[in-house]
A = this chain, B = another copy of it.
Amino acid sequence: MGKVLALDLGGTKIYSALVDNKGKIIREDIRPTMSDGGFSLVADRILDSLHKVVPEGEQPGGIGVAVPAYIDPKTDRIIFSPNLKWRNVDLKKKLEDALGLPVWLENDANLAALGEHRYGAGQDFNDMVYITVSTGVGGGLILGGRIYGGAFGGAGEFGHMIVDAHGPECSCENMGCLEGLASGCAIKRDAQQLVKSGKGRRMLSLAGSVEGIDARVVGKAAVDGDSEARAVLANAGRYLGIAIANVANLLNPGVFIIGGGVACGVGKLILDPACHEAYKRTYPPYRAFLKITLAALMSQSGILGAAAYAWDQLEKGTSSGI
C-alpha cells in the first residue's frame, strides 16, 4: 500500500515522518524551525528534513502538512502564520516543485483533530471538538466525520472565544479571550503575578527568578503537590471549562479532546477543574451529553493527522495541481 510523508511544522520545530496506512511512523526527523531565517531558509530545512525520512528508492504517495497558519482554502496559500512570521506564502508550490510529489496543507489544529479522530481518543466519534492548550489555545472541529473549516477555512479558532467580556487583554487586542485566561502564557502571567505579590515561593525556588517562571515551572510545582501552583492551573482550567460549555451548547459534539503541551503535561490538574466547570456551565438538559478527555496521541496528534489527511486525499484522488 506504500507510504505517505507527514510534516508537522511548528514555530519551534520541524517534525517530518514517513507513515504507513495504519498510522505507524516508519522513520522520523525532528529539527529546529529557526523561523527567524525567513521563508526560503525554513523551506530548505523542511526539504532536508523530508529527504532524511525517505529511504533510497521509496516513492511516497504525497505529503500532508500541518501548518500553524490560516490557509486560504481556494488558493492553498498560507495567508498568515504568527508563529512562523509568514504572510501570504506558497509553501505548497515550493514543496511540490522541489519534490515532485502532491502536497496538501491544512491548519495544524485541524490536523491534530483529525489525528485524534483517526488514531486517537476520537475514534468512536463522528462529531468531536479538539482543543489544544499550549503557549496559546487553538482547536479543530470534526463534524460528520470530516474536518469542518466553515465558509472560509478558518473554523475552530477557540483561543479568541470571549468568555469574560471584561476580562484581561489578549494578544489579539480584545479582552477576556480564552487564550488570555487559560493558555500557557496566561498561566505564566498569573504565576508571575502571584510571586510578585510575595506568594508562590515553591515556584520561585524552582525557577530561580520571577522571569524564569513559565507554564512548565507551574506544571512541575503543581505535579509535586504545590497548592499555589495547582490553584493557578485550576483557574485556567475553569475558564477552559466555560469555553467547553459554550461549545457543548452550540455544537453538541460527541466528545471534547484536550491536547497541547500544557494540558498533556499536567493532565488532570487542568482537566478536572475544566470538567467540573464545564458540567456546571453547560445548559442543564445537555449536561448528560458532556464527555471530555485528554488527547491520546500527545505530541503526535498533528503528525498523524497530517498523515491521515494525505491518505484521505490520495483516496479521494484529489488533484494536487502537479
Q: Which residue of B lies closest to A181 (CB)?
A: B165
> Is A314 positioned at the interface, with any CB of B under 8 Å from its CB?
no
Q: A160 CA to B249 CA in the complex, in Å?
A: 7
With A143-B148, A149-B252, A165-B239: A154-B246 Cβ-Cβ less than 8 Å: no
A155 at the interface (CB under 8 A from B): yes
Given the complex, which residues of B lie within 8 Å of A152, measured CB to CB? 252, 254, 286, 289
- Give complex CA distance A161, B244 in Å: 10
Contact flags A137-149 to B (C-beta < 8 A → 1, else 0): 0000101100011
In the complex, the chain B residue whose C-beta lies closest to that of A165 is B164
- Taking CB atoms, residues of chain B closer than 8 Å to A173 are 284
Q: Is the CB of A155 within 8 A of B284?
A: no
Q: Mark A146-177, 1 if CB is under 8 A from B, else 0.
A: 00111111111111111111110000111010
Cβ of A229 < 8 Å from any Cβ of B? no
List residues of chain A with CB under 8 Å of any chain B CB.
Answer: 70, 79-80, 125-127, 141, 143-144, 148-167, 172-174, 176, 239, 242, 245-247, 249-254, 280-286, 289
Report which residue of A151, A167, A173, A250 has the largest number of chain B beta carbons within 10 angstroms of its beta carbon: A250
Known: A153-B252, A161-B246, A247-B250. A70 touches B285 (CB 8 A): yes
Which residues of the partner chain B approach A174 to less than 8 Å between Cβ atoms? 280-281
Closest CB in chain B relative to A149 CB, distance in Å: 7
A150, B291: Cα distance in complex, Å = 14
Q: Please, how many angstroms separate the alpha-carbon atoms of A70 and B253 in the complex?
A: 15
20 pairs, CB–CB < 8 Å, chain A vs chain B: A127-B151, A141-B250, A150-B252, A151-B253, A154-B285, A154-B286, A155-B252, A156-B250, A157-B249, A157-B250, A157-B283, A158-B250, A160-B283, A162-B281, A163-B163, A164-B164, A164-B176, A165-B239, A173-B284, A246-B246
Task: State in angstroms the CA–CA spacing of A253 and B247 once bound together.
Answer: 15
CA distance A239 to B252 in the complex (A): 22
* Beyond A150-B252, A154-B286, A161-B250, 20 additional pairs, beta carbon < 8 A: A70-B285, A126-B151, A141-B251, A143-B143, A144-B148, A151-B252, A151-B254, A152-B252, A152-B254, A152-B289, A153-B252, A154-B289, A155-B251, A157-B250, A157-B283, A160-B282, A160-B283, A164-B164, A164-B166, A165-B242
